[in-house]
């Protein structure tokens, strides 16, 4: 089969647009010329992740370091949840898969290489894939995630292939801490252990970061939060990487279960709680923009963040597909144009100052409210409570609504009529929703409704198919008007004085 070239011409997403209507959320501090380069990337923009999808191709099996949270028979823990990569691909197979996914999922805008090992420890395979894709699919953004050890040597070639988005996993800037995370690195054909290995890794990461920033490439830093090892240190990491030119920091929770066979998993290193993670993200947010919607994807993930459609695109299934690339590319252009127009409209609406609301709310501040939302994407309340595999958590206050993160769960309904094993699953969901007062879903069954109410959580199915933030705002305003959100004593006299 001759593979097509995906044209850039009909796709408005790739064009430049005014920063005046750009994503003003977590990226608000960015200069406009950077914001327009990240606002349609599902990982770099929280808003975009409701609409645009990414895919990873697993072409990079080897790694040049060892992390204590990784067992390489599984996906790279930096960028993946544990689980074996279904298929390791050759560069040619990766291109074929990418084009098939691009045809089937028009909103797929980003192709990343994130494992299962380190992409830059497999430079031939990684760059062969990028080379072919930049020629055959110029509308797809190319993205790479690395531990940074080989980064300085790869910067030239990354730039040559127009790879504009690079993630470096930086867990520390102190070699003593590094020695507790990395038992060894492989450097100049030798295995180097302990503090010395960590020192070299840190130097290479920092050098690579500076080189990328000097070229104007967009660097995101991922850090794995490891309680008792680097949790208190990550605020310093945030400060330093920001000073060196990274613009987004993604602090992710350690995944360390004994069944994964990692050093940390086997030695009982604990994972952070959701509250600890959020507290650290809040502390680091004082220094730079934080990513809070990371799903720690598999190295062969396909689809919107939080969903995994990889099973639909195995090589044998792709071989059996009859794809009309011409029609698919026209549909791709149409869908992406519609999404882009919708996002532009929402951004424009958000940018309109709300003078009246601000004036009245200043008089009567109410407490904040945490809301969990079941969604399938599109920025809408459009998922049945019983089908939700995760809930997005927002905190609404009198003046703003901010995204805090997501909480994963087992779906209450397991896909059959019997709706799960009831109480056990619901109990787990309620535990995952700790701190949440309202759940918004397109529909909520009788049993879980009662269970949520008994746990002090208000179920709400009245906002099906409504935009998430508008629905939350309505719920907040209704509860405030009904006096259900305690009014905080607002010291208007002191304020006036």
- Does position 436 interact with ligand SF4 (CB under 6 A)? The reply is no
**Which of ligand CLF, ligand SF4, none interacts with 67 (beta carbon under 5 to 8 A by kind)?**
ligand SF4
Cβ-contact 290, 251 below 8 angstroms:
yes
CB of 44 to ligand SF4, least distance (A): 20
Q: Which is nearer to ligand CLF, 83 or 461 (CB)?
A: 83
Rounded to whole angstroms, how far apart are CA atoms 470 and 462? 12
Q: Among 471, 466, 465, which Cα is nearest to 438's?
A: 471
Residue in 39, 77, 122, 274 binding ligand SF4, rule: CB under 6 A: 77
Asked if 109 touches ligand SF4 (CB under 6 A), the answer is no
Binding track, positions 441-470, relative to ligand SF4; x by CB under 6 A: ------------------------------
Residue 373 main-chain phi, psi, to 5 deg: -125, 135
DSSP per position, 183-198 = SEEEETTEEEEHHHHH
Looking at residue 400, what DSSP letter applies?
Answer: -
Q: How far is CA 431 from CA 92, 344, 434, 444, 455, in A?
A: 45, 37, 5, 18, 10
Helices assigned H by DSSP within 161-220: 175-178, 194-214
The reply to whether 126 sits near ligand CLF by the rule CB under 6 A is: no
DSSP 59: -
Dihedral angle computed from the Cα positions of residues 371, 375, 380 and 382, in that order, rounded to the nearest 10 degrees: -110
Name the packing angle between helices 151-160 and 194-214 (round to 10°). 30
Residue in the structure block whose two tokens are 């914001």: 35
Q: How far is the CB of 444 from ligand CLF (least distance, A)?
A: 28
Give me the helices (H) in 257-324, please. 263-267, 274-284, 315-320
Among 76, 185, 369, 471, binds ligand SF4 (CB under 6 A): 76
Q: Closest approach of Cβ 80 to ligand SF4, in Å?
A: 8
Q: Specify the residue, 63 or 432, whose C-beta has the smaller distance to ligand SF4.
A: 63
300 is a site residue for ligand SF4 (CB under 6 A): no
Residues 265-324 that bind ligand CLF (CB under 6 A): 294-297, 305
* By CB under 6 A, residue 145 contacts ligand CLF: yes
Least Å from the CB of residue 282 to ligand CLF: 19
**Smallest gap from residue 112 Cβ to ligand CLF (A):** 3
Q: Say how many residues touch ligand SF4, by CB under 6 A.
A: 13
Residue 63 binds ligand SF4, judged by CB under 6 A: yes
Q: Are 440 and 371 in contact (CB under 8 A)?
A: yes
Closest residue to ligand CLF, based on beta-carbon distance: 112
Q: Is 81 helix (H, G, I), strand (E, B) or coil?
A: coil
The pattern of x and - marking residues 94 through 123 that bind ligand CLF according to CB under 6 A reads ----------------x-x-x---------
Q: For ligand CLF, give the closer residue by CB, 21 or 45.
A: 45
296 interacts with ligand SF4 by CB under 6 A: no
Q: Indicate the residue among 271 and 437 with the shorter CB distance to ligand CLF.
A: 271
Place of tokens 């995204």: 403
> Cβ distance 135 to 98 under 8 Å?
no
According to the binding rule CB under 6 A, does residue 180 interact with ligand CLF?
no
* Interaction between residue 147 and ligand SF4 (CB under 6 A): yes
Size of residue set near ligand CLF by CB under 6 A: 17
CA distance 202 to 442: 47
Output the smallest distance, CB 443 to ligand CLF, in A: 27
Residue of 58, 65, 143, 168 interacting with ligand SF4 (CB under 6 A): 65
Angle, helices 91-104/325-351, rounded to nearest 10 degrees: 70
The DSSP code sequence of 235-271 is HHHHHHHHHTT--EEEEEE----GGGT-HHHHHTPPP
Q: Are 95 and 133 in contact (CB under 8 A)?
A: yes
> Look-up: residue for tokens 């269970």?
451
| Closest-approach residue to ligand SF4 (CB) | 70
Q: Interface residues with ligand CLF (CB under 6 A)?
A: 43, 54, 56, 79, 110, 112, 114, 143, 145, 165, 167, 250, 294-297, 305
Q: Interface residues with ligand SF4 (CB under 6 A)?
A: 63, 65-67, 70, 72, 76-78, 115, 117-118, 147
């Amino acid at each position: 089969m001759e593979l097509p070239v995906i044209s850039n011409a009909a796709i408005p997403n790739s064009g430049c647009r005014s920063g005046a209507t750009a994503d003003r959320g977590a990226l608000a501090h960015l200069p406009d010329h950077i914001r327009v380069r990240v606002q349609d990337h599902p990982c770099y923009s929280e808003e975009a992740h409701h609409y645009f999808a990414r895919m990873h191709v697993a072409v990079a099996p080897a790694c040049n370091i060892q992390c204590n949270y990784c067992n390489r028979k599984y996906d790279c823990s930096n960028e993946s949840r544990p689980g074996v990569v279904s298929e390791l691909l050759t560069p040619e197979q990766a291109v074929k898969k990418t084009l098939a996914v691009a045809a089937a999922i028009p909103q797929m805008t980003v192709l990343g290489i994130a494992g299962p090992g380190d992409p830059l420890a497999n430079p031939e395979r990684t760059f062969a894939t990028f080379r072919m894709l930049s020629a055959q699919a110029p509308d797809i953004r190319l993205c790479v995630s690395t531990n940074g050890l080989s980064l300085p040597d790869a910067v030239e070639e990354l730039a040559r292939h127009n790879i504009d988005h690079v993630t470096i996993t930086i867990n520390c800037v102190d070699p003593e801490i590094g020695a507790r995370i990395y038992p060894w690195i492989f450097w100049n054909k030798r295995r180097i252990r302990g503090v010395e290995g960590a020192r070299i890794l840190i130097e290479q990461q920092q050098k690579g970061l500076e080189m990328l920033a000097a070229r104007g490439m967009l660097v995101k830093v991922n850090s794995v939060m490891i309680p008792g090892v680097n949790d208190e240190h990550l605020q310093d990491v945030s400060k330093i990487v920001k000073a060196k030119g990274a613009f987004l920091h993604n602090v992710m929770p350690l995944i360390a279960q004994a069944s994964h066979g990692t050093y940390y998993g086997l030695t009982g290193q604990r994972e952070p709680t959701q509250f600890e993670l959020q507290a650290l993200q809040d502390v680091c947010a004082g220094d730079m923009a934080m990513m809070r919607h990371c799903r720690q994807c598999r190295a062969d993930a396909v689809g919107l963040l939080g969903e995994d459609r990889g099973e639909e695109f195995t090589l044998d299934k792709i071989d059996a597909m009859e794809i009309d690339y011409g029609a698919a590319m026209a549909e791709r252009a149409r869908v992406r144009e519609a999404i882009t127009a919708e996002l532009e409209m929402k951004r424009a609406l958000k940018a309109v100052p709300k003078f009246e609301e601000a004036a009245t709310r200043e008089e009567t501040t109410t407490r904040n409210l945490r809301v969990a939302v079941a969604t399938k994407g599109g920025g809408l309340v459009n998922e049945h409570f019983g089908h939700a595999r995760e809930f997005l958590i927002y905190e609404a206050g009198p003046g703003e609504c901010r995204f805090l993160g997501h909480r994963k769960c087992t779906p209450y309904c397991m896909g059959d009529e019997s709706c799960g094993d009831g109480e056990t699953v619901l109990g787990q969901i309620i535990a995952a929703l700790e701190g949440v007062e309202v759940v918004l879903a397109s529909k909520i069954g009788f049993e879980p409704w009662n269970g949520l109410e008994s746990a002090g959580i208000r179920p709400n199915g009245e906002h099906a198919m409504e935009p998430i933030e508008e629905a939350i705002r309505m719920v907040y305003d209704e509860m405030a008007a009904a006096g259900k959100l305690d009014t905080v004593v607002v010291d208007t006299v002191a304020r006036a004085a």
